Amino acid sequence: MSIKKEPQTINEQSPSDLLHKLKGAEQRLADSQHLHNALIESIGDGLIIVNEYGVINEINKAALDMLGYDREEMIGEWLPRALPSKDKDGNDLPPTERPSLKSLITGHPETAITTYTRKDGSNFPVSGTAAPLMVEGKPKGSIIVFRDFSREVLVERAKNEFVSLASHQLRTPITSILLYIGLIKYDEKGLSAEIKDYLKRIEMSAQSMQQLVGDFLNISSLELGGVEARPIPIDLIELINDQISEIIGLAADAGVKISFSEPKEPATVSTDPALLGQAIHNIMTNAIRYKATSAAEIKIKIKKQPQNYVITVADNGIGIPEDSQHKIFQRLYRADNAVKQHTQGTGLGLYLVKKIVETLGGKIWFESQENVGTTFFIQLPKNRFKLPVIESMQR
């Protein structure tokens, strides 16, 4: 019995076999290309693929619809020239600052909110991410995925404008209430003890409302970029002493002792003294409010690091429960033990502190144990750093 041997080489195969295999390979290639195109077009966000030189190789329909271009106008064009982009201040973004080219340089994904210019010349904000296409450890191109961010910007702007407007409108009547309370208290000899108690309660409520409105205004300004942080060389020792002087009366009334271990050498840092002062003021005020014992104490130190200074503010107060610690910097959040200790709090103080420290280019964290105390750490860079030119924040 003989066994038919299959051809092992191209020369041993018949022309019909070769033609059949070639057609099969062509069909598989066509199917693969159709699948590739279908995947790109099915993505709801805009997608652009550039080669290692930043030349556009692929662009999907979602991107073309957002930009107003035809595919033929974009394929083969250098991305920075074909698709102008601006930063948040409206300045043209240099090619090397664009996420697409930065990802090629760094070899890592780059994310940014920028502004694209449509074919008709109109601009719109986009949130985009560019990821490098790596081949044998080298970037050979980049994939840019972006979406129109206009709605989010409008919603955020409307929200913050509402908060700002409402806060400004509330400032005037609250100030008037406190003024008239002061006038009445100035000549309170003829008032009964009951009326004096009512006045005290009204004043406390008005002061709480004033603080709430002020916090909302400051947060609104920070989130809108409406705060101008003006870094200048300052002595941290002097700034901290100034803040202690401001609250020493409040601390004395509450029976809280404040101690500051001043370093022997000057601690000079380039930062905004008004913003940093407010952050330290808020932390110390919290420590006074949430004291735990009659022997309450706040200890402040400055630690020098090679590139930074770390300010520590430690207290022996009620502490932060472990299950609340991951939420403590959230807006309007207050731990249960804090609510019981001081019912009039707003839950905005530490949120505002974190925003300020981040605006100053620093970091903030804490260590805490319930019924033992809390230590806050503010790390600030020593050297001058660039900050956006924006408007000064109200205290």
Whether residue 166 lies inside any domain: the answer is: yes
Q: Are residues 68 and 176 in the same domain?
A: no
Q: What pLDDT score does 215 carry?
A: 72
Radius of gyration, CA atoms only, the chain = 31
Q: Quick one: pLDDT at residue 16?
A: 61
- Establish if 39 belongs to a structural domain: yes
- Pair 230, 360: CB distance under 8 Å: no
Last residue of a domain, one of 148, 175, 194: 148
Indicate which CATH number applies to the domain containing 40: 3.30.450.20
| CA–CA distance, 33 with 43 (Å, rounded to integer) | 16
pLDDT of residue 20: 56
pLDDT in tens, 80-119: 888 888 887 778 888 888 888 888 888 888 888 888 888 8
Q: How many domains does the chain have?
A: 3
Cβ atoms of 34 and 128 closer than 8 Å? no
Tokens 């271009």, located at residue: 69
Which residues neighbour 213 within 8 Å (Cβ) at sequence distance 6 or greater?
167, 170, 171, 174
Planar angle of CA 227, 230, 236, nearest 5 degrees: 115
Per the structure, the complete domain to which residue 86 belongs is given by: 27-148
Nearest 5°: phi and psi at 229?
-85, 120
**Calpha distance 390→49 (Å, rounded):** 36
Residues of the chain with pLDDT under 70: 1-42, 160, 163-164, 166-168, 220-228, 342-345, 384-395
Please name the helix (run of DSSP H) or strand (run of DSSP E) that holds residue 136, with its range, or none: none
Q: Which CATH number characterizes residue 288's domain?
A: 3.30.565.10
Q: Give the pLDDT score at 297.
A: 93
Q: What are phi and psi of 137, to 5 degrees?
A: 80, 5
pLDDT tens column, 227-260: 667 788 899 999 999 999 988 988 888 899 999 9
User: 21 lies in a domain?
Assistant: no
Domain contains 241: yes
Handedness of CA 245, 247, 253, 259 (dihedral sign): negative
User: Could you give the residue ranges of the DSSP H alpha helices within the chain?
Assistant: 15-42, 61-67, 71-74, 79-82, 99-106, 150-186, 193-223, 236-254, 273-289, 336-341, 349-359
- Residues 383/270, Cβ–Cβ less than 8 Å: yes
